[in-house]
Chain A
């Protein structure tokens, strides 16, 4: 079971402000049943003072989604719209004494619902603001703008974190490269603004997509049609993924000597790049599809050793067409 804080449990077991607010003049709906969580935020706003006088919610989702929604209503009641707009998803998580990393998207959902409700009150089309970027994750309907925001506000620097906060990439993972791009781009700007250190910034290509999630895909899931109207159709069925398979049959018939030569040549090719970074590597052994290498110089003890190894594996697989694993030896 999740390691929920006492506050999360309290707000789940006895949620405050649950139910329908009849007098609502601002409503924000986000999420969808197919995604596993959805939130309807209802607020009553005093038009003279622009103050939120009451807020209620209805949520479909896990314990932390319900707790986050309830926490949101507590946080915003009594606030002016201006102050409410300054609330971030981190404020919601903090209010609850923290959320497990995999559950941070629940707080993001609260943030989004608030933005949507205020836009609704003001008669604005918040969706427009949201469509500033293209849809990135089709499984969960996450667009570029949402990823950018989550990365900025929460100082995210890995693809896994992006998934935990926004759900993007939590399904079929076909959007993996796009997430990488957005993350790397936003991180680079953040480095420029001294929001994060240069070493922390994400570099595209540094994550092994498959190590991230070995997903077994039986068949394409079709989200339930027509349970939700409106923009539901944006939640497209995840595209069936075919795990790319290196041309193994050719490799399988290759003689051991040929294989080793190929691997040697490929590794030699990589050494110049490594040397440029003050490091080096040496081929130690090849056993079946396991390639043992020894990293030296700046590569050893480097935090990025695993990244280097993953990069090497990718290049090796590309260069040889063999399904290889690279393992470091010391």
Chain B
């Protein structure tokens, strides 16, 4: 049976057209774009094309606002570290409690090793940012605000354009981790006050290990990687030319499929959610019901643990992921679900299904076919499950 891949927020399949576009850059066009000779020149032109394709996808005003990097993590690190360097008299960072570890681990490290003050803005039960806390955290001490465009676990979208305006009033730089938003939502940076934006190739059908950081013209920037003058001295190191060409092609395709993502793919997602909630009691969708990525469904099933569901789904050829503690090797459920105050009865049993243009109706059917049985099997094993509409069974541990 055809495997069902519903873990596109983790990574996507490289589009065959992207692969085709890249191939000549391993062999025929292997030159170094910095070289003067013909081998270099043709590659230099291809890099420029890719830059323009990306510029178009994110609505940047100038193509040179796009800096190619090795991916989302590097872009996030580069943006935040640069901001602290260009604003030495500001020692605070504002971010959210639900960022990707690419931002949160860096902030924790800066807090510990450099004495930077980090404000982690909380979210409500639907994952919506606490705007009052956000306003309160802004001050002339803040060097940079880094708030994600869309959350990788729940798909919740933050109002980054507004947040950027507020940051600007405080004189802080505004960076957004848009790794999950680019390619899924129309983006027009030119009309916003966003100073920097991170994106990653492998979330939009380009390869892993290639990404970009958008740096608005006029924003001061210090490269963290020292070396040659590539990328206008904003990112040293000989360019990953096949990756860049691939990312450019993927950007072009993403524009072409933007409608599909927001109509057909969204319908698939909605049908899955509705179907699961109809067939399975004690389950609910997490995240902002209104402002949400069209491809992401995060559903919490009460009284059971996520890993068991993933193992049983995997046996049926279905791939998705979980915010449960067990699957990550940590002992606590995902920081995103915890920040949302999702009760422990459900946080351990949250499953993320994330779609892409590669998915079809059959995929939804397959999940709808097997998921109720899987949940039922695990609930029968659970000492807490007392049946539909019943309060959980009492459990008297000698220790907890």
A residues contacting B by CB (< 8 A) are 1-2, 9, 12-13, 15, 18-19, 28-40, 58-63, 65-66, 102, 112, 116, 119, 126-127, 130, 139-141, 143, 146, 163, 167, 170-171, 210, 214-216, 218-219, 221-224, 227-232, 234-235, 243, 245-249, 251-252, 289, 323, 325
Contacts of B400 in A (CB 8 A): 30-32, 34-35, 141, 228, 230-232, 234-235
The docked-state distance in angstroms from the alpha carbon of A118 to that of B324 is 32
Contacts of A170 in B (CB 8 A): 330-332
Quick one: which of B98, B108, B325, B381 contacts A36, CB cutoff 8 A?
Answer: B325
5 further interface pairs, Cβ-Cβ under 8 Å (given A66-B308, A228-B400, A229-B394): A36-B326, A66-B381, A127-B399, A216-B107, A223-B344
Task: Assess the A218–B120 pair: CB atoms within 8 A.
Answer: yes
Query: Nearest CB to that of B391 among chain A residues?
Result: A227
Contacts of B344 in A (CB 8 A): 33-34, 36, 223-224, 227
Can you show 23 pairs from A to B with CB atoms below 8 A apart?
A: A1-B314, A33-B303, A33-B345, A33-B395, A38-B384, A40-B383, A40-B395, A59-B383, A62-B324, A63-B307, A66-B381, A119-B398, A216-B105, A221-B341, A227-B345, A231-B396, A231-B400, A232-B397, A234-B400, A245-B115, A248-B114, A289-B113, A323-B112
Contacts of B325 in A (CB 8 A): 36
Contacts of A36 in B (CB 8 A): 305, 324-326, 331-333, 344, 348
The A-contacting residues of B in range 297-352, CB under 8 angstroms, are 303-308, 310-312, 314-315, 324-327, 329-333, 335, 338-339, 341, 343-345, 348
Q: Which of B115, B341, B384, B399 has the most CB of A within 10 A?
A: B399
The docked-state distance in angstroms from the alpha carbon of A81 to that of B104 is 50
Task: Assess the A13–B315 pair: CB atoms within 8 A.
Answer: yes
The A-contacting residues of B in range 221-275, CB under 8 angstroms, are none
Task: Assess the B108–A243 pair: CB atoms within 8 A.
Answer: yes
Task: Assess the A216–B398 pair: CB atoms within 8 A.
Answer: no
Contacts of A163 in B (CB 8 A): 331
Task: Assess the A33–B384 pair: CB atoms within 8 A.
Answer: yes
Query: Nearest CB to that of B349 among chain A residues?
Result: A60
Q: Top 3 A-B pairs ranked by shortest CB distance? A: A248-B115, A218-B97, A170-B331
Is the CB of B169 closer than 8 A to any CB of chain A? no
Task: Assess the B381–A58 pair: CB atoms within 8 A.
Answer: yes
The docked-state distance in angstroms from the alpha carbon of A249 to that of B117 is 11
Task: Assess the B108–A218 pair: CB atoms within 8 A.
Answer: no
Cβ proximity bits B103-145 to A, threshold 8 Å, 1 near / 0 not: 0110111011111000010100000000000000000000000
Query: Nearest CB to that of A41 among chain B residues?
Result: B383
Contacts of B120 in A (CB 8 A): 216, 218-219
Query: Nearest CB to that of A169 among chain B residues?
Result: B331
Is the CB of B20 closer than 8 A to any CB of chain A? no
Is the CB of B382 closer than 8 A to any CB of chain A? yes
Task: Assess the A143–B399 pair: CB atoms within 8 A.
Answer: yes
Contacts of A140 in B (CB 8 A): 331
Tell me how many residues of B have a C-beta within 8 Å of chain A.
57
CB distance from A127 to the nearest CB of B (A): 5
Task: Assess the B397–A31 pair: CB atoms within 8 A.
Answer: yes
Task: Assess the A231–B397 pair: CB atoms within 8 A.
Answer: yes
Query: Nearest CB to that of B330 among chain A residues?
Result: A170
Q: Which of A12, A126, A146 has the most CB of B within 10 A?
A: A12
Contacts of B381 in A (CB 8 A): 15, 18-19, 58-60, 66
Give how many A-B residue pairs fall within 8 Å (CB-CB): 197
CB distance from A121 to the nearest CB of B (A): 13
Cβ proximity bits B8-43 to A, threshold 8 Å, 1 near / 0 not: 000000000000000000000000000000000000
Chain A, interface SS category: mixed
Known: A60-B305, A218-B120. Is A32-B395 also a contact (CB below 8 A)? Answer: yes
Known: A29-B395, A219-B339. Is A323-B345 also a contact (CB below 8 A)? Answer: no
Quick one: which of B101, B307, B338, B394 contacts A228, CB cutoff 8 A?
Answer: B394
Task: Assess the B113–A325 pair: CB atoms within 8 A.
Answer: yes
The docked-state distance in angstroms from the alpha carbon of A13 to that of B120 is 41
Contacts of A146 in B (CB 8 A): 399
Query: Nearest CB to that of A39 among chain B residues?
Result: B383
Quick one: which of A30, A34, A37, A62 contacts B399, CB cutoff 8 A?
Answer: A30
Contacts of B188 in A (CB 8 A): none
Contacts of B91 in A (CB 8 A): 249
Task: Assess the A230–B109 pair: CB atoms within 8 A.
Answer: no
Task: Assess the B324–A228 pair: CB atoms within 8 A.
Answer: no
The docked-state distance in angstroms from the alpha carbon of A2 to that of B109 is 28
Task: Assess the B383–A29 pair: CB atoms within 8 A.
Answer: yes
Contacts of A231 in B (CB 8 A): 396-400
Task: Assess the A141–B345 pair: CB atoms within 8 A.
Answer: no
Contacts of A32 in B (CB 8 A): 395, 397, 400
Quick one: which of A9, A35, A126, A248 contacts B398, CB cutoff 8 A?
Answer: A126
CB distance from B221 to the nearest CB of A (A): 20
Cβ proximity bits B364-400 to A, threshold 8 Å, 1 near / 0 not: 0000000000000000111110000000101111111
CB distance from B370 to the nearest CB of A (A): 14
The docked-state distance in angstroms from the alpha carbon of A234 to that of B111 is 31
Contacts of B97 in A (CB 8 A): 218-219
CB distance from A126 to the nearest CB of B (A): 5
Task: Assess the A243–B303 pair: CB atoms within 8 A.
Answer: no
The docked-state distance in angstroms from the alpha carbon of A146 to that of B397 is 14
Quick one: which of A35, A39, A210, A218 contacts B339, CB cutoff 8 A?
Answer: A218
Q: Which of B303, B325, B381 has the most CB of A within 10 A?
A: B381
Cβ proximity bits B76-111 to A, threshold 8 Å, 1 near / 0 not: 000000000000000100000110010011011101
CB distance from B396 to the nearest CB of A (A): 4
Query: Nearest CB to that of A28 among chain B residues?
Result: B398
Task: Assess the B305–A210 pair: CB atoms within 8 A.
Answer: no
CB distance from B77 to the nearest CB of A (A): 15
Task: Assess the A229–B396 pair: CB atoms within 8 A.
Answer: yes
Task: Assess the B397–A230 pair: CB atoms within 8 A.
Answer: yes
Task: Assess the A33–B112 pair: CB atoms within 8 A.
Answer: no
Quick one: which of B331, B332, B396 contacts A230, CB cutoff 8 A?
Answer: B396
The docked-state distance in angstroms from the alpha carbon of A31 to that of B396 is 9
Task: Assess the B108–A216 pair: CB atoms within 8 A.
Answer: yes
The docked-state distance in angstroms from the alpha carbon of A219 to that of B105 is 15
CB distance from B153 to the nearest CB of A (A): 13
Query: Nearest CB to that of A171 among chain B residues?
Result: B332
CB distance from B205 to the nearest CB of A (A): 24
